[in-house]
Amino acid sequence: MKVAVECRSPLLQKSLELFLFRYLSSKKHCDIVVRDEPCLEDSRCFYISSKEDADLKKPFSKSQLILALEKKYKGAKLVSDVKDQLSEVREESMDFEILEKRIESLTREYQENILNAVRAFYEK
């Protein structure tokens, strides 16, 4: 998945670039263009806003962003033959494993933050 980011908001632009650094590409070569304004003419457009018609509503987390982009990417991808369909089924089963790993990682991070807060409280 290749993603380009085009936002009017400099803060959102930079945040998305940091979140998506692994997937960044030029607009010419990307699969999805992430924007903070609606774009009806481009099927590759992924709209982020606090409005109801957005593909992803603000506020959002990094994991929510990546999962929504992966869903959009898979939805836009056309399956032309049986081999592609079989590989897509395999990818869907792998998505659950990816999700499990992300949840484990977030849980560990959350646990570390809580322990650090408790340690800081008792060190005073």
Query: What mean pLDDT is predicted for residues 5-18?
Result: 91
Percent of the chain clearing pLDDT 70 (strictly above): 83
Asked if residue 70 belongs to a domain, the reply is: no
The more confident residue out of 44 and 83 is 44
pLDDT tens digits for 37-78? 888 777 788 999 888 888 889 888 888 888 888 888 877 664
Asked if residue 72 belongs to a domain, the reply is: no
Total count of domains within the chain: 2
Identify whether residues 54 and 2 lie together within a single domain.
yes
Identify whether residues 12 and 41 lie together within a single domain.
yes
Identify whether residues 54 and 89 lie together within a single domain.
no
Residue range of the domain that includes 51: 1-60
Question: Which residues have C-beta within 8 Å of that of residue 94, sequence separation ≥ 6?
Answer: none
Identify whether residues 54 and 86 lie together within a single domain.
no
Asked if residue 67 belongs to a domain, the reply is: no
Asked if residue 69 belongs to a domain, the reply is: no
Identify whether residues 117 and 83 lie together within a single domain.
yes
Asked if residue 17 belongs to a domain, the reply is: yes
